[in-house]
């Protein structure tokens, strides 16, 4: 029976090294290309401390911070997606399934409508994301305990509520504010300033998740089986939920609600690498970073000097690749 055997994973760590290498190449590409062409010699000059002021500005002030922000955001989203899928034991879950991006969007758009600046928009998005997280968690708990199904259902309904509020905000907005709002909703990295925070959160989150990889493998077999195998199910689920929410909130705050990365990247990796969370979680972070870095590079150069929102590219890239792999894998 061809195709029934799980993909070979004799060298699981090789996969991670390949992804690290691909990540470096993606970053290099993102720094090398843009609407102003720079030759290899120019790039080398800038990297060795030379180059003229324009070239240094292009590389160090524009391309490098943006590529770093893209990588961190993609990594955060894919990591959050992988975690949510295990937590909810539902392969359709993504970082936004629990209404988190809706809460963030309402926060961000509300701030934009009031004419707030970038810092306030980000802060407001973060607050909205956390508010939504608490709301969903509190409601799903209800009087008793929460189950993944209850959490999922609560999240989906809360998300629907947010999207109605988003439509309302868009309707109420003056024409000139609309492009900014729409770009935020589709995900956009052009104003992702200092990526330091996102990177810090990404590294800490991956490190925090590594020892949870095996318990999550066990949790994927269902909570009863996991408990029987010695996993403290409720504390594990709660910490995964909190961590995934925080990670998503940081990503959304950096780049708006970029779609598809969190859903597609963990799936692609599962199709290729199997389902060991110890491998999938760090691999998701790397592959998500690579995907978003490449997508953002395309968004910058495809119609240069005009810019596209990166969310459009992730969807246009991700959806066909995903469908193709799914079709082939049966």
Partner 1 sequence: MVARMGQWTVFMVLIALLPLAAMAAPRCVEDDVGREVCLERPAQRIVALSPGAVELLFSAGAGEQVVGAVSFSDEPPAARKVPRVGSYKRLDLEAILALKPDLVIAWRSGNPAAQIEQLERLGLTVYYSEPVRFEMIGTTLERFSRLAGTEQLGEPVAEQFRAGIDALRQRHGDAKPVTVFYQVWEEPLMTVNDRHLISEAIRLCGGVNVFGGLPALTPRIGREAVLGADPEVIIAGGMGEDNPAWLDPWREFGSLTAVRRDNLFFVPPSTLQRPTPRMLEGTRRLCKHLEQARARR
Partner 2 sequence: MSVLETRELIIDVPGRVSGRALSLRIEPGQRWGILGPNGAGKTTLLHTLAGLRAPRSGQVLLDGKPLSQWRRRQVAQRLAVVFQERQDGFPATVLETALIGRHPFLPPWRMETAADLEQARNALRLLDLSHLEPRLVSTLSGGERQRLALATALAQQPALWLADEPTNHLDLHHQVAVMRLLEQQSQQGAGLCLCLHDLNLAARWCDRVLLLYPDGELCHGPADAMLILEALEKLYRQRLMVTEINGTRVFLPG
Does 141 contact partner 2 by CB under 8 A? no
**Cα angle: 267, vertex 270, 272; to 5 degrees:** 115
Residues of this chain, 159-178, that bind partner 1 according to CB under 8 A: 171-172, 174-176
Structure tokens at 78: 């894919």
Pair 94, 248: CB distance under 8 Å: no
Question: CB of residue 196 vs partner 1: minimum separation in angstroms?
Answer: 17
d(CA 32, CA 115): 35
| Binding site partner of 10, from partner 2, partner 1, none, Cβ cut-off 5-8 A by kind | none
Q: How far is the CB of 272 from partner 2 (least distance, A)?
A: 12
> Exposed, middle or buried, 252 (CB in 10 Å: 0-12/13-18/19+)?
buried
Binding mask 270-309 for partner 2 (x = CB under 8 A): x---xxx-x-------------------------------
Annotate each residue in 184-213 with x if it binds partner 1 (CB under 8 A) or - if it does not, as one string: ----x-xx----------------------
Of residues 70, 83, 86, 263, which one binds partner 2 by CB under 8 A? 86
Stretch that binds partner 1, among 69-77, 198-206, 260-268, 301-309 (CB under 8 A): 301-309
Residues 6+ apart with CB under 8 A from 299: 189, 307, 308, 309, 310, 312, 313
Nearest CA among 253, 239, 241 for reference residue 192 = 253
Distance between CA atoms of residues 309 and 185, nearest Å: 9
Number of residues engaging partner 1 in binding (CB under 8 A) = 31
Using alpha carbons only, how large is the chain's radius of gyration in Å? 20
Contact residues toward partner 1 (CB under 8 A) are 34-36, 52-54, 56-58, 61-63, 115, 117-118, 171-172, 174-176, 179-180, 183, 188, 190-191, 300, 304-307
């Amino acid at each position: 029976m061809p195709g029934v055997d799980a993909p070979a994973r004799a060298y699981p760590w090789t996969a991670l090294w390949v992804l690290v290498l691909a990540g470096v190449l993606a970053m290099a590409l993102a720094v090398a290309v843009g609407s102003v062409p720079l030759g290899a010699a120019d790039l080398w000059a800038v990297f060795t401390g030379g180059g003229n002021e324009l070239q240094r500005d292009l590389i160090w002030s524009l391309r490098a911070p943006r590529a770093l922000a893209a990588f961190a955001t993609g990594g955060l989203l894919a990591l959050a997606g992988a975690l949510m899928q295990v937590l909810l034991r539902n392969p359709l879950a993504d970082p936004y399934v629990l209404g988190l991006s809706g809460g963030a969007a309402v926060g961000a758009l509300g701030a934009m409508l009031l004419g707030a600046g970038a810092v306030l928009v980000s802060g407001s998005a973060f607050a909205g994301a956390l508010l939504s997280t608490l709301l969903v968690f509190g409601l799903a708990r209800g009087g008793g305990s929460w189950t993944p199904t209850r959490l999922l259902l609560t999240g989906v309904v809360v998300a629907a509520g947010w999207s109605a509020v988003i439509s309302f905000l868009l309707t109420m907005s003056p024409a000139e504010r609309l492009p900014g709002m729409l770009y935020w909703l589709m995900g956009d990295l052009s104003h992702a300033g200092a990526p330091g925070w996102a990177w810090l959160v990404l590294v800490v989150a991956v490190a925090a998740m590594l020892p949870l990889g095996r318990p999550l493998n066990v949790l994927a077999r269902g909570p009863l089986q996991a408990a029987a195998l010695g996993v403290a199910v409720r504390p594990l689920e709660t910490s995964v939920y909190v961590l995934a929410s925080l990670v998503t909130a940081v990503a959304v705050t950096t780049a708006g609600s970029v779609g598809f990365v969190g859903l597609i990247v963990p799936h692609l990796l599962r199709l290729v690498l199997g389902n060991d969370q110890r491998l999938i979680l760090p691999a998701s972070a790397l592959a998500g970073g690579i995907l978003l870095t490449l997508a953002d590079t395309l968004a910058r150069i495809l119609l240069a000097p005009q810019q596209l929102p990166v969310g459009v590219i992730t969807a246009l890239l991700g959806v066909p690749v995903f469908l193709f792999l799914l079709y082939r894998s049966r």
